[in-house]
Structure 1
């Protein structure tokens, strides 16, 4: 059984590491059990047709989208536009942070 701290949460951002969609980002929209979750991105995987994924095939980030989480908990659903917006915002922040890290590594190597 997974610890409650490391268990997937609704609205949590994930990177798909295995399968046809490997390398793409998505959001957890439902936790089925301790092994499987449903994910969607609002674009290729809409809310009404999510992908069932084994949690071992996903990389979980500490970030959770409060907009998506609140919407699902309050109404039981979320719009695809809200999923796309949250993912775009998250990915842009992640890519920016990674580029900053790479620049720092490059500067350290030069010195």
Structure 2
């Protein structure tokens, strides 16, 4: 599912640009206010102990995990396994393709 670059949404995958976790991917699990979000990756940052991060320190990616988004909407929670699965799926499908030099348009992202 394609998301917006300007408004963060729960379930959206982000690339951390600064701080100790710079260069790593995470998923927005909660919006705090207009400046901060809570991130988790299911590994080092679990759902029950997420990382508070300034939106300016994140690169919002045009991908929202439908599994994570649905789980958050229905129950208000998501399992750490589902977070790891969503991140692995994104990295395997999109990041790997970009590193291979395969170009794709926005329609391919909507699976």
- The answer, yes or no, to whether TM exceeds 0.5 is yes
Q: Which has the higher contact order (CA 8 A, sep 6+)?
A: 2
Aligned residues: 100
Pairing of 1:32-51 with structure 2 (within 5 A):
32-51=32-51
Q: What is residue 81 of structure 1 aligned with on the other side?
A: 81
TM-score (structure 2 length as normaliser): 0.84
What is the RMSD of the two structures over their aligned residues, measured on CA atoms?
Answer: 1.7
TM-score (structure 1 length as normaliser): 0.84
Alpha-carbon distance between aligned partners in 2 of 1:70 and 1:82, rounded to the nearest angstrom: 11
Q: What is residue 29 of structure 2 aligned with on the other side?
A: 29
Unaligned residue ranges in structure 1 (runs of 5+): 104-111
Q: Runs of 4 or more off by more than 4 Å in structure 1?
A: none
Higher Rg: 1
SS at match of 1:56: helix
Name the CA shift for 1:78/1:49 in 2 (closer, same or farther; >3 Å).
same
